[in-house]
Amino acid sequence: MRIKFHQSLGDLRERLLVMAGMAEQAIQRSIEAYRTRDLSICELVFRSEPAINRLEREIDQMALDLLAMEQPMAIDLRFILSVIRINADLERVGDQAVNIAVRVREMGAFANYDLPVDIPKLASLASAMVRKALQAFIEADAELAEAVLALDDQVDEMNDAAFLSLSTLIKEQPSLTPQSLNALIIARNLERVGDHATNIAEDVIFWVRGADVRHASTAL
Amino acid sequence: MDCLPGTADEAGGGEEEGTQLGVGIEVEHLNAWYGKTHTLQDINLPVPANHCTALIGPSGCGKSTFVRCLNRMHETIAGARAEGSVRIGDIDIYKDASPVVIRRRIGMVFQRPNPFPTMSIYDNVAVGVTLDGTSARRVLDERVERSLRQAALWDEVKDVYKKKSGASLSGGQQQRLCIARALAIDPEVLLMDEPASALDPISTSKIEDLIFELKHQYTIVIVTHNMQQAARVAENTGFFLSGKLVEFSPTHQIFTNPRDKRTEDYITGRFG
């Protein structure tokens, strides 16, 4: 029943997974660029952004068409709303990748210095959050999505630790301020990637269970 | 008991008419049969006063039978019977009042508009009132005009309503005429069995606007196959399946996060 509608829902899901793949690849590449200081990888990140933006608009239009023409209900309605939100978060993940690549390019103008911050580890955790959130989406697995939420504190703590150690370094060795500031911003970008993964996980829970768990820790 | 409590006195009429609040309906352990077929099975459902309650479900699920049990029309079919309790206000309609009195207090509008073709618009509205024993012209005039205004038809027919036949109106107008006819007898509850299924979108919209206005004065129960319509007009929605009430919830919950998988399968088109 409603064969066309359910095929369209499947198409929407497939396009979102393509978007997810592109956003995930962009963030991986930006971290690889940081690790290797390879500016050609930064270029790949910059070039991927317009495609991600185009896909964001395409997915939004597909979702809008389904809302307008199919009047979805219940789990289908929640699915489409979740796709719209996840789509926006994935686009923002792509933006964070670009931001990181911009910082890496700036860092290239300075001598390499072994900063007291483990950006690859932070990146690994943030990427794992994105990957798990998307896995939860693929499998409609609210429990896996909950596990993602639990990881966000770790990313926040690592970002706080990076801030502390890098601001201390800036005080002690002002000549390293540009490098330290760039690393600080990258840590902040990765922390934001973790936040987007959290949002995606919350959207999966909303879709699967119909429960709105956003801002649960700050609710009055 | 021949009269429901709290209803307007017929002779009194005038200013008080049409301003009473609707009454709630409490259905408990309602069962209905067509011959040996058990059409409704142990239905328990509260219909709050001055709310619109929608009933949805696939064809043959029992929702129309349920509505017809609310004004004892079900039993008019040969071999059909109903058991259980249906309390409208303080009255159990199966114990405390005759079917005629019940139907005077519970108006009904059907899927197809059914005006009396040989009667004028005026007479179509007045017929129920005159059958009720009211013959004073002033009372009838007042009741007809008020009912046509309530049904949002007055402005369209006020110049011709005493001459033109009800059958001369468009389908949407005829349905509003039928609503005016139902309102003219001062019911407390209005039952609507797919009232807009034969109407175009504009007429449908007018009927839905009417429901929004009328529920301030009446308790409304609507059967509809149009789920968007249920979502638009009703505060609560019941989902019937195979003679059982599967779920009765606030409408926003039914259509965003139903509790029962069968409800979800039905409203998302996965049913069957």
CATH code of the domain in which A64 resides: 1.20.58.220
State both tokens at A87: 């789509």
- The C-alpha atoms of residue B86 and residue B148 are separated, in whole angstroms, by 30
Whole-prediction pTM value? 0.83
- The C-alpha atoms of residue A130 and residue A146 are separated, in whole angstroms, by 13
- The C-alpha atoms of residue A208 and residue B75 are separated, in whole angstroms, by 44
User: Does A121 fall in a domain?
Assistant: yes
Name A175's Cβ contacts closer than 8 Å, sequence gap at least 6.
none
Is A77's Cβ below 8 Å from some Cβ in B? yes
* Length of chain B as a residue count: 272
Cβ <8 Å between A74 and B257: yes
Q: Which domain holds residue A47?
A: 3-209
* DSSP-based three-state secondary structure for A129: helix
Is A69's Cβ below 8 Å from some Cβ in B? no
Cβ <8 Å between B268 and A210: no
- The C-alpha atoms of residue A155 and residue B44 are separated, in whole angstroms, by 52
Amino acid in the structure at residue A138: I
Name B196's Cβ contacts closer than 8 Å, sequence gap at least 6.
B175, B203, B204, B207, B208, B224, B226, B229
DSSP H/E element including B86: strand B80-88
Structural domains in chain A (count): 1
Q: How far is B255 from chain A (nearest CA, A)?
A: 5
Is A76's Cβ below 8 Å from some Cβ in B? yes
Count chain A–chain B contacts defined by CB atoms under 8 A.
37
Q: Which residues pair with B247 in a beta bridge?
A: B239
* DSSP-based three-state secondary structure for B55: strand
User: Does A219 fall in a domain?
Assistant: no
- Chain B, nearest residue to A70 by Cα: B268
* DSSP-based three-state secondary structure for B225: coil
* pLDDT tens for chain A, residues 1 to 220: 678 899 999 999 999 999 999 999 999 999 999 999 999 999 999 999 999 999 999 999 999 999 988 889 999 999 999 999 999 999 999 999 999 999 999 999 888 888 999 999 999 999 999 999 999 999 999 999 999 999 999 999 999 999 999 999 999 999 999 999 999 999 999 999 999 999 999 999 999 999 999 988 665 5
DSSP H/E element including A63: helix A39-70
B257 vs A contacts (CB less than 8 Å): 74, 78, 210
Give the closest residue to B263 by CA, choosing from B249, A116, B124: B249
Per-residue b or e along B124-139, where b marks 16 or more CB atoms closer than 10 Å to that residue's CB: bbbbbbeeeebeeeeb
Q: How far is B29 from chain A (nearest CA, A)?
A: 29
Cβ <8 Å between A74 and B255: yes
CA distances to B126, B144, B166, B168 from B119, rounded to whole Å, are 10, 14, 6, 10
Q: How far is A90 from chain B (nearest CA, A)?
A: 25
B14-267 has which CATH code?
3.40.50.300
Name A179's Cβ contacts closer than 8 Å, sequence gap at least 6.
A107, A110, A113, A115
Q: How far is A37 from chain B (nearest CA, A)?
A: 49
Is B59's Cβ below 8 Å from some Cβ in A? no
User: Does A45 fall in a domain?
Assistant: yes
Sign of CA dihedral A18, A23, A25, A26: positive
Tell me which residues of chain A, numbers 180 to 219, contact chain B at a CB-CB cutoff of 8 Å.
210
pLDDT of amino acid B106 = 94
Q: What is the DSSP letter of B14?
A: G
A74 vs B contacts (CB less than 8 Å): 254-258, 263-264, 267-268
Q: Which of B254, B263, B269 is closest, CB to CB, to A2?
A: B269
- The C-alpha atoms of residue A12 and residue A18 are separated, in whole angstroms, by 10
Q: How far is B15 from chain A (nearest CA, A)?
A: 43
Calculated CA dihedral for residues B228, B28, B193, B64, nearest 10 degrees: 100
pLDDT of amino acid B272 = 54
- The C-alpha atoms of residue B66 and residue B64 are separated, in whole angstroms, by 5
Is B270's Cβ below 8 Å from some Cβ in A? yes
Q: Which residues of chain B have pLDDT under 50?
A: 1-18
The CA-CA-CA angle for residues B57, A74, A76, to 5°, reads: 115
Cβ <8 Å between B269 and A6: yes
